[in-house]
Chains A and B, each alone.
Chain A
Amino acid sequence: MADANTSKVDITVQQLMSQKGDVEIQQATKSTVHLRVQRGAPGQEPHFDEFDVEVQEGMVVLDAVHRVQSEQDPDLACRWNCKAGKCGSCSAEINGQPRLMCMTRIDDLPAGDITVQPVKTFPLKRDLVTDVAWNYAVNKRIQPFTPRGMTPEEAAHGEFKMQQIDVDRSQEFRKCIECFLCQDVCHVLRDQSKMIQPTENGGFYGPRFMIRIASLEMHPADAADRVPLLKQEGGVGFCNITKCCTEVCPEHIQITDNGIIPLKERVADRYYDPVQILWRKVTGKK
């Protein structure tokens, strides 16, 4: 292998730091896009404002929205935070597709106008911002992690002894960044009005919270039983596995295959298995 010190060190770090100025760097290519952004607040007829925005190679839709805010319309409302696909704040419908604005490169979109709209399933607050409070209300209904007892070895170590292979599934679900795009495309929520008070039966908690429940139910050290919640308030039965949620997940979580279907099986085993039904009759247990 080559010697590490092949470049002759002709100048020390100290000397370099005392030099002012930066080196010339390569510039990105520029172009212009035409942005159509839905505007308006509750009670107003939504309308589109149009903006021509100068963009550089590699820019994402959120960059274009920011450029509008800084150069053309400072009160264009949009929610964002990390701009790196890690916080899930900037969900929107871009050319009708639910996506994160910060992870949608403009040069990956088909040529032509770019339409940006708020996610449709949640009530509008203003422009691109929606009211996602319902999701937080649902989350509060789910029994949090409830640790099982520890073995003496575990107690001595202060940690649960769990193999990686046994936590892989729960970790997959815990990748969720709560962008709520899955909730947005879920037609049970979007079209069938199942977004009701989370405390009432007859509604559906949506893919995000199926995944949340799955992450707990499949946690090797969790001792709680959320199957009754799934069947009743959670409404897991309403999901008819069209997998739209999986398709839009920016974290590529296999929501339906790895999460919802196994949860449905747990409910079926508990409530619809004839042997179990008989057992419950004999023992009187629910």
Chain B
Amino acid sequence: MSPEPLFQKHDFDVIVVGAGGAGLRAAIESAASGRKTAIICKSLLGKAHTVMAEGGAAAAMGNVDDRDNWKVHFRDTMKGGRYVNQWRMAELHAKESPDRVRELEHWGAVFDRTKDGWINQRPFGGHTYPRLAHVGDRTGLELIRTLQDKGVHSGIDVFMEYTVVRLYKDAAGSINGCLAYQRDNGAFHLFRAKAIVLATGGFGKAFQVTSNSWEYTGDGYGLAYQIGAELMDLEFIQFHPTGMIWPPSVKGILVTEGVRGEGGRLTNVKGERFMFRYVPDMYKGEYATTEEESDQWVEDQNLLREGKITASSSKSRRPPDLLPRDIVARAIMAEVKSGRGTPRGGVYLDISWRDPEYVKRKLPSMYHQFKELANVDITKEAMEIGPTMHYSMGGIRVDPDTQMAPKVPGLFAAGEAAAGLHGANRLGGNSLTDLLVFGRRAGLYAAEHANKAKPGPIDESSVETAIQHYLGFLAAPGTRPTADTPYKVWEDLQVVMQFKAGMVRFKEQLEEALSELESIKKRAVAVKATGSRAFNPGWHVAMDIEKMVIACEASVRSALTREESRGGHTRGDFTEMNEANWAGRNVVVTRGEDKMIINVIPIPPITAELKAILDADVKDISNKGKGVV
């Protein structure tokens, strides 16, 4: 009898890793191009982290305020990102988002409607005009279900509950496949492929307080780094201003920005609407300066929706509660540090002043989430909230048009796994359209690449070595007596990131973090998981940590390098934005012989046409605005 093979083999043109919005959209496009396409995903299909997106998908469709257009969206995205975005990606995103959202409707998505019967759009932080196509506060679920149903009828093979642990390239440096294990029985599978799209999201699970689900272990960053791709902008981490803080077991769970979009007020323990004090100079004049004006704006949104006023006739400006997320998160932290926070270390977010039925209709998940998890009725009481690690602006460096990694032919990335669109800070709502616009592009160009590529064979001896390494975690009883459990190492990693590389960073703490990461790395390769290969969470964590540590180290090294504060990167020892040294520069991490290599690279010069848009007054680049009647 021959022994069981160490792994099974599969053959595809294009492999998409991850089945969130970006992965599904990429796979749909690749399959539509006629390439043999597979999705490999860690969870069941339809459970990906995209379901957690609540507020909406930002696209300048102008359905609610027809002054909106791609130029204003582009300008908002660049400004929110503090101008270190890849401008070409921001341009493509602003131009293509409306088509991608409308395409979803043709695939069965049912967005909330305007009075006229078109797709409704809600206001959101940093967006000049109401721009987010939404479905109550469960837009991500709508997006994923629509793409899932489109996908399963597109001839895509889906490998559910499989985790990719290695990527491979041939002698010439082109992608030729990946190794994965099957979660339920622990079997290994080798996938040959001509192109691979990483749509693996971010690495929130490296932090203690996060809105991210378990899948967010930095897989894509680790996989790409291991075979020589560049990681960029990983110092920029979005701490979403409004996460739940009580009870402790729900700490970090997201409270949608849609609450503020619908008029939710941030107040401190003294009842003050503190955001008026935190409008930075770059946003002066664009936000309401009094409570009366803020409240008038909320009222105007109602009248606008009901068609009783025109968009251009409303003179009120947005409440400062709707400033970009980095500013609001820092303001909340400042209030708490100044002793004006709640006893549980947060501030209040209050929507209870609005009509209870309206709140339940527009924010149903928030209503249930607080009622069931915190015993709080948000139509009657204020929510208690604080910042939570939410999103990684950085990721795999890609070509803006094709989403291919410049150094690894055949490797593509999209969504949170890729860097570039959001710069130093992402605007709410830009993620969902990021997934659609660049998921499609990644799928399209991966298919095109696969059509021509003829990668050489995978070196199977290295595959066997990798498998033996991972099986080694399942040490026999009595072996590895002093090893940690995988959970212990993971928890220690979270403590390092939360307290030494969190919202505010200092040189000496970041350096401490690096040395602690060194020891965690050593412990991580020698952990011991008990039990068998059959659906064994401890063993799975052992394999996840490998990628998580890479993402963390790259993030900490990038944070050390950027000696300024910008967007989602706040240095306690360099508290100002340093335009002279850091404008127009990105931090890039690559794999060296035995250590990470850091480079600071310039952003390519922006075109004159786009520069003019950034420099213009919003009014001058807006449409004339016939108003909504």
A residues sitting closer than 8 Å to B (CB atoms) are 1-2, 4-7, 9-11, 13-20, 22-23, 25-26, 28, 41, 56-60, 63, 69-71, 73-89, 103, 105, 125-127, 129, 132, 136, 139-140, 144-145, 147, 157-164, 167, 170-171, 174-175, 177-178, 215-216, 219, 222, 252
Residues of A within 8 A of B488 (CB): 70
Is A81 touching B117 in the complex (CB atoms < 8 A)? no
Residues of B within 8 A of A177 (CB): 51, 141
Given the interface pairs A16-B337, A59-B247, A159-B105, the reply to whether A26 lies near B504 with Cβ below 8 Å is: no
- Return the 6 tightest CB-CB contacts between A and B, nearest first: A58-B247, A74-B538, A145-B108, A75-B531, A25-B345, A14-B575
B249 within 8 A of A: yes
Please list 26 pairs of residues, one from A and one from B, whose beta carbons are closer than 8 Å in the complex, sorted by A's number.
A1-B291, A4-B276, A7-B274, A11-B338, A14-B576, A15-B575, A17-B504, A17-B565, A18-B573, A18-B575, A25-B344, A74-B485, A74-B529, A74-B536, A79-B44, A80-B214, A81-B214, A82-B52, A89-B47, A126-B534, A127-B535, A144-B150, A174-B110, A177-B51, A216-B108, A252-B368
Residues of A within 8 A of B273 (CB): 4
* Contacts of B110-143 to chain A: CB distance below 8 A: 110, 112-113, 116-120, 135-136, 138, 140-142
Residues of B within 8 A of A105 (CB): 372-373
From residue A129, how far is it (CB to closest CB) to chain B in Å? Answer: 5
Is B117 touching A162 in the complex (CB atoms < 8 A)? yes
Is B51 touching A126 in the complex (CB atoms < 8 A)? no
Total interface residues in chain B, CB < 8 Å: 103
From residue B181, how far is it (CB to closest CB) to chain A in Å? Answer: 15
Cβ-Cβ contact count across A and B, 8 Å cutoff: 239
Residues of B within 8 A of A215 (CB): 110
Is B254 touching A84 in the complex (CB atoms < 8 A)? yes
Residues of A within 8 A of B292 (CB): 1
Residues of A within 8 A of B506 (CB): 20
B residues sitting closer than 8 Å to A (CB atoms) are 43-49, 51-52, 98-99, 102, 105-108, 110, 112-113, 116-120, 135-136, 138, 140-142, 145, 149-150, 152-153, 160, 184, 213-215, 246-250, 253-254, 268, 270, 272-274, 276-278, 290-292, 330-331, 333-334, 336-341, 343-345, 364-365, 368-369, 372-374, 485-488, 491, 504, 506, 509, 529-532, 534-539, 541, 565, 570, 572-573, 575-576
Is A26 touching B344 in the complex (CB atoms < 8 A)? yes
Is A129 touching B341 in the complex (CB atoms < 8 A)? no
Is B337 touching A23 in the complex (CB atoms < 8 A)? yes
Give the complex CA separation of A14 and B132 in angstroms.
Answer: 32
Residues of A within 8 A of B343 (CB): 25-26
Of the candidates A4, A84, A175, the one whose C-beta lies within 8 Å of that of B277 is: A4
Is A5 touching B529 in the complex (CB atoms < 8 A)? no
Is B277 touching A174 in the complex (CB atoms < 8 A)? no
Residues of A within 8 A of B254 (CB): 84
Give the complex CA separation of A18 and B108 in angstroms.
Answer: 50
Of the candidates B246, B253, B274, the one whose C-beta lies within 8 Å of that of A83 is: B253
Given the interface pairs A7-B272, A28-B248, A177-B141, the reply to whether A75 lies near B529 with Cβ below 8 Å is: yes
Residues of B within 8 A of A14 (CB): 565, 575-576
Is B247 touching A75 in the complex (CB atoms < 8 A)? no
Give the complex CA separation of A251 and B108 in angstroms.
Answer: 20
From residue A34, how far is it (CB to closest CB) to chain B in Å? Answer: 18
Extra inter-chain contacts (14) besides given A41-B534, A87-B52, CB under 8 Å: A4-B276, A6-B270, A6-B272, A23-B345, A25-B345, A70-B491, A74-B531, A75-B531, A76-B537, A85-B373, A105-B373, A140-B152, A145-B108, A159-B119
Given the interface pairs A9-B277, A85-B369, A159-B105, the reply to whether A167 lies near B184 with Cβ below 8 Å is: no
From residue B48, how far is it (CB to closest CB) to chain A in Å? Answer: 8
Residues of A within 8 A of B373 (CB): 58, 60, 85, 103, 105
Give the complex CA separation of A14 and B566 in angstroms.
Answer: 12
From residue B330, how far is it (CB to closest CB) to chain A in Å? Answer: 6
Give the complex CA separation of A166 and B290 in angstroms.
Answer: 39
Give the complex CA separation of A66 and B421 in angstroms.
Answer: 35
Residues of A within 8 A of B485 (CB): 70, 74
Is B291 touching A4 in the complex (CB atoms < 8 A)? yes
